[in-house]
A = this chain, B = another copy of it.
Amino acid sequence: MNTPLIPTAILRICCPDQKGIVAAVSGFVFERGGNIIHSDQHTTDFQNGAFFMRIEFALDALQISAERFEGEFSAIASRFQMQWNIQYTSQIKRMGIFVSKEPHCLLDLLWRWKAGELAAAIPLIISNHPNLKPIADDFGIPFHCVPSDLDTKEAQENYVLGLIKGHVDFLVLARYMQVLSDALVSQYPNQIINIHHSFLPAFAGAKPYQQAYTRGVKIIGATAHYVTAQLDEGPIIEQDVIRVTHRDGMDQLREKGRDIERTVLARAIRWHLEARVIAYENKTIVFG
């Protein structure tokens, strides 16, 4: 899985399971000069199931243009009733980040981004608080404080939409403590990644560390998921956990939790950027 040095395309497919899909897709790519580097499939059930495929191929010897490739692929796609999507490593995705007051997830993302771990552009950071602006400034990224003095929630969201529309490909809520409206969410289906500071579905909603402390759990966690209209109910991309003991007070839970939140969010974003994730029926397939 070493990073290829030559440009590749990643084709993701979802369709009803049936005979011959793998052969048809891999044959199609091969016949046009695409050298398949990775290919993963998954079928949800043995019979009457859904079929998922992620196929990455090198573009250097492709004998036709990408446009023509996509055009010709449509024929196969309709034959198998496919939903499909193609992504090119040469096209850097633009990631908009939303934050509130907590800096750890934002900082971690920006450090990884600077270290070359996240192959994305970051056109802007949006917050409902001004306090993280200096971090954005340090990294030279435009920071927008959503004016809370606007009259209505609707006005705020319109302002936000004006900032992001056409300028970002997906959104990351890096501890953004506001609920997005259904209107905004519906414009970015499976393109908004949130980090929730608990192992969902445990401790959904507000103050999960407080909830965890009160319940006396021996393990805490974090969950990265796509945002849907239902709060904390969207398809889970990644989760991780860490042990706690009776010695850990609220401060310790928060401190231990921060380390987990950072790594879980970073993994989910990386997988999203590498087009490894397919959301389906409120779950995700994550190809390794």
Contact = CB atoms under 8 A, between A and B. Distances in A.
A169 interface: no
B35 A30 contact: no
Contacts of A24: 30
A186 to B, nearest CB: 21
Contact of A1 (B1, B5, B199, B248): B248
A113 to B, nearest CB: 13
A19 B41 contact: no
A247 B42 contact: yes
Interface in A199-225: 199-203, 215-219, 221
A46 B37 contact: yes
B249 A2 contact: yes
Contacts of A26: 22-23, 26-27
A42 B241 CA distance: 24
A203 B221 CA distance: 15
B215 A236 contact: yes
Where chain A touches its partner, the secondary structure class is mixed
Interface in A254-288: 255, 259, 263, 282-286, 288
Contacts of A6: 46
A117 interface: yes
Interface string A214-246: 011111010000000000000111111100011
A13 B151 CA distance: 58
Interface residues of A, number: 72
A104 B97 CA distance: 22
A89 interface: no
B2 A23 contact: no
A283 B216 contact: yes
A216 B3 contact: no
Nearest to A264: B218
Contacts of A245: 286, 288
A103 interface: yes
A238 B221 contact: no
A57 to B, nearest CB: 10
Contact of A104 (B30, B107, B115): B115
A245 to B, nearest CB: 7
A86 interface: no
Interface string A24-42: 1011011101011111111
